[in-house]
Structures are given as structure tokens and as C-alpha cells.
Chain A
């Protein structure tokens, strides 16, 4: 029994279940029981990371309202680690509490029509003005922009510098009148993503994260968190693809299973070994030996999700010809496996694109792990404004 758990029980003993949801969450944050491994004063206790699951369990068992983490995946999974890493004390005090309680949903304004895998090619400009910056440009593939009140923004502040060096990172207010969010319908029928048009949006100096022209380094902090969370996928939130398809397998007709057994078993073995690989990566992280396995796991899980979901449709035969619903909805949380088999198959196609394409991740493994020579880059060292695009 950890000291964190004792504090959680003591907190709950004093908690009045009649308190509103928001006030309850704020009180939990103020007591340091939000993310216990974080420092005191900003929602934590400076305790071990291992205590978190236990504390969450105690709150859940007591019927304490939860902070609907699924609706704020980018806030909790990417914005918070970034703010903890580079934010000022003032920013931590101001931004983290409403982030954790879910009062402020976050989105991520990184990708642009001309900056996908080549993320450093960002063209959105931030120019100096009194007390802050004026931002104009276009962002794309923005999950949750229609719900978000805050955004992680990377914009170009100095086009005379090489592309990686002239970028700056901001925590932008999505409610500014210069922000326009348009749904971007995807092949599943729904619009999980958005296009975001920024026209003379004002960002005050206090919302600069890190220092001017240091945005690339800060963005790498954010993306490392993203790959770890996508690689592990859904393990904690959603049912894993292999478990969903295993259930479909058990209910498939015997004649179908007879002809598909070895194909299914190969994927099943790969998926179970991937779980062991993920478990080993977590043990390495816990032992303070982080490796590049996050990128590797994402490559593996993307392939498996695609192949398993494709196989599932074949197992279903005539039922595989149906599709749940093509209506254009705008979901509040990303769903990979929670809907029907047709949706799972189509949505899985994005797994090898979002959060770093498989091709880019293989480059990262080849260069950072194996030490193979880097890709040829004709724009290297060149001022961004002069580089070929």
C-alpha cells in the first residue's frame, strides 16, 4: 500500500459526493492526486509512477467522477508532457489544471498541406506584434479541433533560418475569432479530423512554450509521447484488435476456419509476441532504460491492425459486406476497434500514417538505432524561404 493510496483514501473520506463534478475534479487536482508522479503544486505528489494505477483504482471504486480522459487524449497525452517539460511555472499553474479536469480540451496544430512527413516544412507564420504574435496559415488532420479550446501550435517565426531552426511553439487559444474549423470527412464516413484556418490570430507572449525559434526541439518532445501512446494503442482504453478478431474467429463457420487457420494463427502469434515486446519496453522504461521501441511498436501494431481487420471481414463472409453507418458524424474521441468490422478495416488504414508514417519510422530506426546513413536532404542548412518546395 503506497503513501499515495493512503492520501487518496484520506481525501475520499472528506469528499462530499454532492459536490459538483467539476469541483470534485479540481479538488482532486489540488490535493496532488491527479497525476501523482508529477510535482506538488501542479496536480502531483512527486510519487512513483507506479502509484498512479492504484490511485486511479481507488477513485474509480469510490464512484468519484472521472476526467473523461478519452475526450482529451491530446491534452493529457501530448500537451501535458510538453508543458511539464518546457512550460514556465506560471504556464503550469494556468494551463495544467483545466487541462486535467477536462474543462479545456486540446488539439494539435502541427501538420499542414505542405508539411506532413516533412513536418519541419511548416509554412504557418507567426509575426511579432505588441505583447505577442500574429499567426496566419492552414493546418490539417486536426483531431478534436471542433471541441478544443486550446491548441499546441508550431509556427514559423524566422523564414531566414534553416527549416528546423525558425520554428516556435505556442499554446494557442482556439476561441480567437481568427480561428476557423472545418470538418474533414474521411474514408470511414465520419469527420474525426478537421482543417483549421488561422487568419491573424493573436497569441500573447504568455502562451509561448519554450523559447523563440526552439519549436522543433519542443515538438519532438510532444511526438515522442504520441508514438508511445499510439504504439501501446488502446491497450488501456479500447479492446485490442487481436482480441476483437479472435472473438470473430471463434464464431466463424468451421469451413471458413479450415481454409484460413494458418493465416489467422500467424497474425495471432505476431500480435501476442507484440504484446510481450510492449511489456518488455515498459519494463525497460520503468528501469530507466528508454529505447527506440516506441517507433518499432507503432510499426508493428499498425501492420497487425490492418491485416487482422482485413482478415476479419473475410471471416464474416456475407456479413462482411455490410457497413454500420456512413453518416458524417464528428466524434469526440478516436475509436479504432469499438465500431463494426467494416469501420475497423477502414480506420486501421490510418494507423500506418498518423503520428509518423511507417516509412518515416523505419528511417528513424535505421538511422538512430542501426546508425545507417541519413536520407539525402537537398534543403539541409538552407534558409527556409530559399529551400525547394
Chain B
């Protein structure tokens, strides 16, 4: 059975408010400035979405100070964040870390996150697929030592959730960011930069162990993958709309370039792909919640498909803008970098195809 893949009236209304808020607070020139070291937008925008809409807590239960939004609704927020390549840690903190903490019953920390004042990051490489073995960090006597490379959302984090091995056991440890060495990397996508983390006997509080820790991490990553598909739909949608608008007004040979069939057909095919990506992403958002086999199949299908569509849309956007698409001034490059980084994030399409083969005995 297929669930309801359309947007409800509530979801449409949510989209409208988020879009208006982002239009006023996330100008693309300030996103571009992040590549030149001005990160002021990241904090300003996080503050704006926290105050105006309490967005960081949208998916938390009301008892913890959240809005109790479903995954379908959070997915709508992700689409809108993708449309403006918003440089805030919503995916890493409000989706992935919150889901892992929820699994561990960490209500105090979740309450502290509800007003946006506490940001959390799960210390796994952003390219991680499905789970982690925690082998690069060792745990002993309430302290963690080791390193994790290419972690997203750690730059402004207050608390870092560190998977690490204690003897043979996987554990999940909460570490105050002030007790970790956080090295910012020059990243492909500076609107979601990655950091290298090093822990040298950093004080830590254990929040899960063994199977429990494994489940906490994998449920966070599964929810993150499902929501990432909707971000990818938002990225693709912006690229398609922007390109269509451009080819209508750009004239060469005395006519709009959008009147040439070679261009029309490329964009028609892209529209077909984006429309299909939306169906796949909605399906993942509808089915992800229980985390069972149908959830894993739906998420793997969405990640196999939407990652490549976002990249294709951004690449078509560059090509069909011609020279202007190669410039720093035009925002297209922000979308290309986000789309390509997103394709690597949380596992590549090839990883998800292999998972589908395993889940369906193909």
C-alpha cells in the first residue's frame, strides 16, 4: 500500500511560513560569503528560525517543548531549507542528533535543544552509511580519546555525541564541545562545512551502550537520510525553476534560448525527474517513522534516486546558464556544491542500491 504522497493543507501552510521566513533571512549573497570566511549568516539565521518559528524543535514532542511535527512535516521544512541552501544545522542537530537522543531517552538535553540555544552533532563522518563501529574513538573511565573526520554540523555545536569503543562495546558519549578540538576544514559545501574532531581524554557522559548505542546512531542516520531526500528535492526544484526562468529571458540568434528544442527537451526531462524525486521523497517521509524494513526500503529508494536528481538539476542549471553559471556572482554554484556534497552525504546512491539489492534479494 502506498501512503498519501500529496501535501496536506497544514503542510502547505507550514511551507508558506518557512519560505517567507527564509526569503527574509537567507539572502544568497550571504550564503556565498561563507566561502570567504564570513559565517555570520549561520548564527543569525539559526536565531531567526528559532525565535520566529521555533524550527529547531519542530519535530520534538510537545512535552519536551517542541511542536510534535511528523516526519512528513519536517520533510517540508527540509525542502524549503534546500531551496535556499540554508547554512543552519537543522539536519544534523534537529533531525539526526534529536532522533538519536530521543532513542536514548535524553530528555534534559532535548529540552535544552528546544529553544535553539543548544546545538548537537553526532560525531560520524558526514559520508557515513547507515551506522558506525566507533573504532576511531576509545572510551575509558568517563573520558574519550581519538578522532573523527569530516563531521557536519559540528562547527557551532554545544554538545557532541561521540560513538566510541569501550573494550569491545560500542557506546555513545555526550561531550561538551569546549572539551573537544574542532578543526574546521575548507569544505566542498561551505553552507554545511565539515570539521575534524579530536578528543584527548575529554570528559564524557555515557548515554547508550551496546545494541542500544548502535540503534541510537542508526535510527538517527536513517531519519537523516529520509529527510535529506526532501532537501535534495528542494535543491533540484530551485535549480529547475531558476533555469526555466533564465532560458525564457536569455536571447541568442534573435530568440529566447528556451525556444530551442534541445534546451526544451533537457528541461522537460529534468522536470520529469524532479517530479519523480518528489514522489520518492514523500514516500520515504511517510514510511520512515517506524524504522522497520519498509522504512529502510523507502529511504534507500529515495536516496538512490533523489541524490542523483539534485546533482543533475544543479549541473543542468550551470550548463544552461552558460558562462554566467560558472561565475561566483550567480548563486547556482551554491546549489551545485550542496547537491554534490549531499550526494556523498549519509551514503552514496551506489551504497543505497546495494542495500536495496540486499533488502529485496536482488
A-side residues, CB < 8 A to B, are 246, 249-250, 261-262, 264-266, 268-270, 272-274, 276-277, 279-280, 283-284, 287, 293, 296, 299-300, 359, 361-363, 365-367, 369-376
Contact = CB atoms under 8 A, between A and B. Distances in A.
Contacts of B305: 269-270, 273
In this complex, the member of A367, A371, A372 whose beta carbon has the largest number of chain B beta carbons within 10 angstroms is A372
Contacts of B261: 363, 375
Given A273-B301, A280-B6, 8 more contacts: A261-B362, A264-B362, A279-B2, A283-B5, A299-B269, A299-B272, A372-B248, A372-B263
Nearest to A257: B362
A299 B273 CA distance: 11
Nearest to B241: A370
Given A276-B283, A370-B244, A373-B255, A365 B362 contact: no
Contacts of B36: none
Contacts of A246: 362
Interface residues of B, number: 38
A366 B350 CA distance: 31
Contacts of A370: 244, 264, 267-268, 271
Contacts of A287: 6
27 contacts: A250-B362, A265-B354, A268-B356, A269-B353, A273-B277, A273-B279, A274-B276, A276-B280, A276-B283, A277-B275, A277-B280, A280-B278, A280-B279, A287-B6, A293-B275, A299-B269, A359-B265, A362-B265, A362-B268, A365-B268, A366-B264, A369-B271, A370-B264, A371-B244, A372-B247, A372-B256, A373-B255
Given A264-B362, A268-B356, A276 B2 contact: yes
Contact of B357 (A261, A270, A376): A261
Interface in B304-320: 304-305
B258 interface: yes
Nearest to A370: B244
A366 B4 CA distance: 28
Contact of B353 (A266, A280, A300, A369): A266
In this complex, the member of A264, A300, A365 whose beta carbon has the largest number of chain B beta carbons within 10 angstroms is A365
Interface secondary structure of B, over-half rule: helix
B362 A265 contact: yes
A296 B275 contact: yes
A153 B243 CA distance: 41
B242 interface: no
Contact of A279 (B5, B265, B275): B5
Nearest to B258: A372
A363 B255 CA distance: 17
Contact of B268 (A293, A366, A376): A366
A249 B356 contact: no
Given A265-B362, A366-B264, A273 B280 contact: yes
B259 interface: yes
Given A266-B353, A276-B280, A283 B247 contact: no
Contact of A273 (B244, B256, B276, B357): B276
A326 B268 CA distance: 38
Nearest to A281: B279
A283 B6 CA distance: 7
B301 A272 contact: yes
A280 B283 CA distance: 9
Nearest to B306: A273
B99 interface: no
B272 A300 contact: yes
B280 to A, nearest CB: 5
Nearest to A299: B272
A277 B276 contact: yes
Contacts of A296: 271-272, 275
A363 B269 CA distance: 10
Interface string B278-299: 1110110000000000000000
Contacts of A363: 261, 264-265, 268
A372 B275 contact: no
Given A280-B282, A299-B272, A362-B269, A265 B357 contact: yes
Nearest to A358: B265
